[in-house]
Amino acid sequence: QVQLVESGGGLVQAGGSLRLSCAASGSIFSINTMAWYRPGSGKQRELVAAETSDGSTNYADSVKGRFTISRDNAKNTVYLQMNNLKPEDTAVYYCYADGRGGSRTFDSWGQGTQVTVSS
């Protein structure tokens, strides 16, 4: 019902920057949370950054001061500006969104975009 498409991943050297984008489409009335995740330990995904509709943000400790999340609500799009990238940041980054579409709530994941940081 709601699809998320990520873009902007790629290969960069340590210390470089990338900007990820995620566009939501489909039956959307409102979006509450938009967030970025990457694989964590075990089977769980790690929250990298999130922003709710009131502008509140949360970041993983490992990316604070380096990554910035932002939203363009008119375009139903979320961005992740990643600066001073480290090899440890290498991962598939997944976009997440939740909210309301039609008369129902939704939770949706993108398919992921690969970020590779070389040493």
**Can you give the pLDDT of all 119 residues of the chain as single tens digits?**
899 999 999 999 999 999 999 999 999 999 999 999 999 988 899 999 999 999 999 999 999 999 999 999 999 999 999 999 999 999 999 999 999 998 899 999 999 999 999 99
Give the pLDDT of residue 13: 98
Residues in Cβ contact with 94 at an 8 Å cutoff, skipping those fewer than 6 apart: 6, 36, 37, 38, 45, 109, 110, 111, 112
Residue at token pair 């993108």: 110
Give the pLDDT of residue 1: 85
Give the pLDDT of residue 41: 86
Q: Determine how β-strand 10-13 pairs with β-strand 113-118.
A: parallel
Q: Residue 34 and residue 49: Cα distance in Å, rounded? A: 9
Q: Residue 95 and residue 11: Cα distance in Å, rounded? A: 19
Give the pLDDT of residue 42: 87
Give the pLDDT of residue 102: 84
